[in-house]
């Protein structure tokens, strides 16, 4: 499983209180353990997060982070692939994993009484994967099919091409799955080298939510994750992201053209992403958003239109996405840019309040389930070193002013837009021709 953009929690790196309802322990090895008990829950969701994803690969490793995620389940020194599946499913549990741009996670869900089994299995697949040639050969075939599936799914493919065009010739712009050529080239030794650089205790978080006792989880970590290396021989340096803008066009015989129009965004490391997250919601975050009302309700140009902001650790990207008839593509782009420019100038207090309320509900709803709480805690501790109190998250949203949101919208203007398109391309304007996206065109 892969994820295009990291869904970063609304948080900031500056000092603040750790959530007192959340247990947090750091072992001498550097491994951080975070958990929250939910008294109503009979199950526990748990996982191990690693602070490395697709942008942490060297050029010759393109796609290796995702391949490793697959190979972890294909056998260890103690279990073969079938035994891994049978042991977790015999207690009604399940395993999953995901590779993102900046992290990788391995997760499980079981009854509270089976927590130790789940920790044991997760620890086993991450500390002693077998990485046999036979399993690697088979899994390469599976991933090649996965790559082909994306090529056959235009509304997935367009996001890959969008990041490639926005961040050309950079790890951040490379598709998470890799290419057929790179995937075929990987060896067990290449995987082990990547493991040695990134899968060490100081770069990992063990998290659990639901029917869990924090002290028990810490004891299990000491027992089953003692074999984690404490640090790599040489600390990896992540290449920075540099938005440049451009275009990517893939002609196909689809009925629709799938479009993503983008601009540089903000990193989550400085807190400037809050106003831009709110602006993206005002522009295209719901049925009352400006894009939905103008593009769909008034003009009927698309069934669905969306605005998004993906903040990364050192940069970000803002986008508008839609699928439309080829003959309507130029008008849809014109209308979308006009909506963006207008919103940057006159977004109202009522719109900001509505967007803020939507974001709060989404945030709080995610915290009500063990799985949602698990993901938020793990990412926050991995990135910021603490679990953020929900009151603090709400306060940060409340602190964003109308002027902040307007300024965030205006910050998008004046940059070279990125256009990614998959489908019939006749009549689609060039990205370089969209100079009227700039305030200088007024």
| pTM listed for this prediction | 0.91
Structure tokens at 228: 């984690």
Per-residue pLDDT reduced to its tens digit, 299-310: 999 999 999 999
Lay out the sheet containing 316-324: strands in order across. Answer: 247-251, 418-423, 257-264, 316-324, 305-311
Per-residue pLDDT reduced to its tens digit, 304-330: 999 999 999 999 999 999 999 999 999
The question of whether 375 is a catalytic residue gets the answer no
Per-residue pLDDT reduced to its tens digit, 8-62: 344 444 556 777 789 999 999 999 999 999 999 999 999 999 999 999 999 999 9
Q: What's the mean pLDDT when you consider all of the chain?
A: 91
Angle formed by the axes of helices 115-127 and 214-224, to 10°? 30
CB–CB of 96/32 below 8 Å? no
Question: What pLDDT, on the 0 to 100 scale, is given for residue 277?
Answer: 95
- Write down the catalytic residue from 57, 69, 87, 351: 69
Please say if the pLDDT value at position 175 is more than 60: yes
* Domains identified in the chain and CATH numbers: 23-224 (3.30.830.10), 247-441 (3.30.830.10)
Strands 247-251 and 418-423: parallel
Cα–Cα distance measured from residue 358 to residue 281, given in angstroms and rounded to the nearest whole number: 8
Q: How confident is the model at residue 196 (pLDDT cuts 50, 70, 90)?
A: very high
Whole-Å CA distances, 414 to 212, 306, 411, 417: 51, 21, 8, 9
Structure tokens at 385: 């070193």
Of 40-49, 200-209, 354-363, the one with minimum mean pLDDT is 354-363
First to last CA, the chain: 45
Q: Which of 311, 219, 237 is nearest to 274 (CA)?
A: 311
Per-residue pLDDT reduced to its tens digit, 400-413: 999 999 999 999 99
Q: Which of 301, 369, 303 is nearest to 331 (CA)?
A: 301
CB–CB of 38/364 below 8 Å? no
From the number of C-beta atoms within 10 Å of its C-beta (0-12, 13-18, 19+), residue 309 rates as buried
Q: Which of 47, 22, 48, 37 is nearest to 109 (CA)?
A: 47
Rg (alpha carbons) of the chain, rounded to whole number: 22
Per-residue pLDDT reduced to its tens digit, 87-124: 999 999 999 999 999 999 999 999 999 999 999 999 99
Other C-beta atoms lying within 10 Å of the C-beta of residue 330: 14
From the number of C-beta atoms within 10 Å of its C-beta (0-12, 13-18, 19+), residue 10 rates as buried
CB–CB of 25/225 below 8 Å? no
Q: Which of 190, 347, 223 is nearest to 284 (CA)?
A: 347
Structure tokens at 121: 């299995």
Q: Give me the phi and psi of 405, to 5 degrees please.
A: -70, -45
Question: What pLDDT, on the 0 to 100 scale, is given for residue 233?
Answer: 67
Question: What pLDDT, on the 0 to 100 scale, is given for residue 15?
Answer: 54
At 33, is the secondary structure helix, strand, or coil?
A: strand
User: Which residues lie closer than 8 Å to 68 by C-beta, 6 or more apart?
Assistant: 104, 191, 194, 195
Residues in a beta bridge with 319: 262, 308
The b-or-e profile of 121-140 (16+ CB within 10 A means b, else e) is bbbbbbbebbbeeebbeebb
CA atoms within 13 A on the CB side of 280: 24
Cα–Cα distance measured from residue 438 to residue 149, given in angstroms and rounded to the nearest whole number: 37
């Amino acid at each position: 499983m892969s994820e295009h953009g990291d869904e970063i929690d609304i948080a900031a790196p500056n000092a603040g209180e750790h959530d007192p309802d959340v247990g947090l322990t750091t072992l001498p090895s550097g491994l951080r353990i975070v958990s929250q008990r939910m008294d109503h829950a009979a199950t526990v969701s748990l996982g191990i997060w690693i602070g490395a994803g697709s942008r942490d690969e060297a050029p010759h490793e393109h796609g290796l982070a995702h391949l490793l995620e697959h190979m972890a389940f294909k056998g260890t020194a103690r279990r073969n692939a079938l035994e891994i599946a049978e042991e977790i499913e015999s207690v009604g549990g399940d395993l999953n994993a995901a590779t993102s741009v900046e992290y990788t996670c391995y997760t499980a869900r079981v009854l509270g009484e089976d927590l130790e089994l789940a920790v044991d299995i997760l620890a086993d697949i991450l500390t002693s994967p077998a990485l046999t040639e036979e399993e690697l050969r088979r899994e390469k075939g599976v991933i090649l099919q996965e790559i082909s599936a994306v090529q056959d799914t235009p509304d997935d493919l367009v996001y890959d091409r969008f990041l490639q065009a926005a961040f050309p010739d950079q790890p951040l712009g490379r598709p998470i799955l890799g290419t057929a050529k790179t995937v075929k080239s990987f060896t067990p030794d290449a995987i082990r080298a990547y493991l040695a650089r990134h899968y060490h205790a100081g770069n990992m978080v063990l998290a659990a939510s639901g029917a869990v006792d924090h002290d028990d989880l810490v004891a299990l970590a000491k027992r089953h994750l003692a074999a984690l290396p404490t640090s790599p021989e040489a600390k990896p340096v992540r290449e920075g992201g540099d938005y440049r803008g451009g275009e990517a066009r893939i002609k196909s015989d689809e009925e629709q053209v799938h479009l993503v129009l983008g601009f540089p965004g903000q990193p989550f490391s400085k807190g400037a992403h809050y106003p831009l997250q709110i602006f993206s919601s005002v522009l295209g975050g719901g049925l009352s958003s400006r894009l939905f009302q103008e593009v769909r309700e008034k003009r009927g140009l698309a069934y669905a239109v969306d605005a998004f902001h993906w903040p990364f650790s050192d940069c970000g990207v803002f986008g508008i996405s839609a699928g439309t008839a080829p003959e309507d593509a130029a008008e849809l782009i014109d209308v979308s840019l006009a909506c963006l420019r207008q919103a940057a100038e006159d977004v109202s207090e009522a719109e900001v309040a509505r967007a803020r309320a939507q974001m709060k509900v989404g945030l709080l709803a995610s915290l009500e389930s063990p799985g949602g709480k698990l993901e938020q805690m793990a990412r926050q501790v991995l990135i910021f070193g603490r679990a953020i109190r929900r009151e603090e998250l709400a306060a940060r949203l409340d602190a964003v002013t109308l002027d902040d949101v307007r300024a965030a919208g205006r910050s998008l203007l004046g940059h070279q837009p990125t256009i990614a398109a998959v489908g019939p391309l006749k009549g689609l304007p060039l990205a370089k021709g969209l100079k009227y996206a700039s305030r200088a065109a007024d």
